[in-house]
């Protein structure tokens, strides 16, 4: 009786064959999006960061509402004239911008840190597609979370901001723009952090860079002569965010871009960081 010799599989015979076989599969954007969604929602860091954002945004809105109500009777005339109840309720978004930046960094830097990025790139060899799907899934989550938190912070803050202090409604001029813009700003800054992480590829380094751009750079610029600080400061992400989440400004505030012009520039920062990160992903080894 003659037995036929088994035909060896090129995929099973060598490591090179395995990756070559994997590469022959055509993974489209839909598969990439499903993969990134599973990664994002199944890690504990995502849920911890989102819970932190809820506590910070809503908690600070509540504290600010109560505090401003108590301080209103002793406020000076300039303080009353420039009082912005909307901005008071959205103060917690600043810390949420820091937290969403950490999550944006972890979306990609954690894979480089653990080495699992090699598996991702083996499954989807198209490296720009990998970054696009990561950014798309993260952006969708960040926009939803940012808007929910912005509206929640606004309503909680206004509920606790009682007479004699004035309060705001969404129907008043620029209020809806500020609340919606606050959520969008959170999402765009998260994407900016993701772009920085794709460039740096190291969690601590990317977070440090993000915090430096968002918080440290405004302090440095503010220490320069006013002719320089006023000319440069209006282009910084921190100042753009402040304008976007406010409806009025103090008399002595430095010149700033209009809300939507600044937001467009902020989007440009995020797109540029992601584009540079995608270009470097193609040129560098995993």
Decide: 167 and 161 in contact? Cβ < 8 Å: yes
The C-alpha atoms of residue 67 and residue 54 are separated, in whole angstroms, by: 20
> With pLDDT > 70 as the criterion, what percentage of the chain qualifies?
89
The per-residue pLDDT for 78 is 82
Instruction: Note the Cα 163 to chain centre separation in Å.
Output: 35
The reported pLDDT for the residue numbered 163 is 85
Q: In whole angstroms, what is the distance from residue 33 CA to residue 4 CA?
A: 44
Compute the average pLDDT of residues 106-122: 90
Split at pLDDT 50, 70, 90, the class of 251 is low
Percent of the residues in the chain that have a pLDDT greater than 90, as a whole number = 66
Whole-number Å distance between alpha carbons of 103 and 275? 19
Low-confidence winner among 2-6, 196-200, 236-240 (lowest mean pLDDT): 2-6
Question: Given this model, what pLDDT does residue 74 score?
Answer: 86
Separation of alpha carbons 257 and 78, rounded Å: 23
Does 265 or 115 have the greater pLDDT score?
265
The whole model's pTM is what? 0.87
Structure token digits, residue 162: 């009682």
- Summarised one tens digit per residue, pLDDT across range 71-96 is 888 888 888 888 899 999 999 999 99
Question: Is pLDDT at 57 greater than 50 in this prediction?
Answer: yes
Any idea what the Cα angle at residue 233 is, between residues 228 and 235, rounded to 5°?
A: 120
Residue 258: count other Cβ atoms within 10 Å of its Cβ. Answer: 10
pLDDT tens digits along 139-195: 999 999 999 999 999 999 999 988 888 989 999 999 999 999 999 999 999 999 999
Cα–Cα–Cα angle for 76, 151, 65, rounded to 5 degrees: 30
Cα separation, 92 vs 57, whole angstroms: 4
Residue 230 has pLDDT above 90, yes or no: no
The band of 111, judged by pLDDT with boundaries at 50, 70 and 90, is very high
Does the pLDDT value for residue 51 go beyond 80? yes
Question: What b-and-e string marks burial along 204-220, b requiring 16 or more CB atoms within 10 Å of the CB?
Answer: eebbebbeebbeebbee
pLDDT at 59: 96
- For the record, the structure tokens of 65 come out as 């509402």
Distance of CA 136 to the CA centre of its chain: 12
Query: 10-19, 37-46, 97-106 — which is least confidently predicted?
Result: 10-19
Residue 19 in this model has a pLDDT that exceeds 50: no
Rounded-to-integer distance, Cα 24 and Cα 10, Å = 13
- Give yes or no for residue 231 having a pLDDT over 50: yes
Supply the mean pLDDT for the chain: 87
pLDDT at 125 over 60: yes
């Amino acid at each position: 009786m003659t037995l036929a010799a088994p035909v060896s599989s090129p995929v099973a015979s060598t490591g090179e064959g395995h990756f070559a076989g994997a590469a022959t599969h055509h993974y489209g954007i839909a598969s990439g999006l499903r993969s990134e969604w599973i990664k994002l929602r199944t890690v504990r860091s995502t849920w911890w960061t989102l819970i932190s954002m809820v506590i910070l945004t809503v908690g600070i809105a509540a504290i600010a509402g109560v505090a401003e109500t108590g301080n209103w009777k002793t406020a000076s005339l300039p303080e009353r004239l420039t009082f912005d109840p909307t901005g008071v309720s959205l103060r917690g978004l600043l810390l949420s911008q820091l937290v969403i930046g950490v999550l944006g960094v972890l979306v990609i830097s954690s894979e480089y840190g653990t080495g699992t990025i090699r598996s991702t790139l083996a499954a989807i060899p198209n490296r720009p597609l990998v970054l696009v799907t990561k950014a798309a899934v993260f952006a969708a989550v960040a926009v939803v979370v940012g808007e929910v938190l912005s509206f929640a912070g606004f309503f909680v803050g206004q509920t606790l901001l009682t007479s004699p202090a004035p309060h705001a409604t969404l129907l008043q001029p620029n209020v809806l723009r500020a609340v919606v813009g606050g959520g969008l700003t959170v999402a765009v800054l998260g994407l900016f952090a993701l772009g920085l992480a794709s460039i740096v590829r190291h969690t601590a380094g990317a977070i440090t860079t993000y915090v430096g751009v968002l918080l440290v750079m405004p302090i440095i610029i503010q220490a320069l002569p006013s002719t320089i600080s006023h000319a440069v400061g209006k282009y910084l992400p921190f100042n753009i965010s402040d304008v976007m989440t406010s409806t009025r400004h103090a008399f002595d505030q430095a010149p700033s871009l209009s809300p939507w012009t600044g937001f467009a520039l902020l989007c440009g920062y995020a797109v540029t960081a992601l584009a540079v990160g995608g270009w470097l992903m193609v040129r560098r080894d995993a």
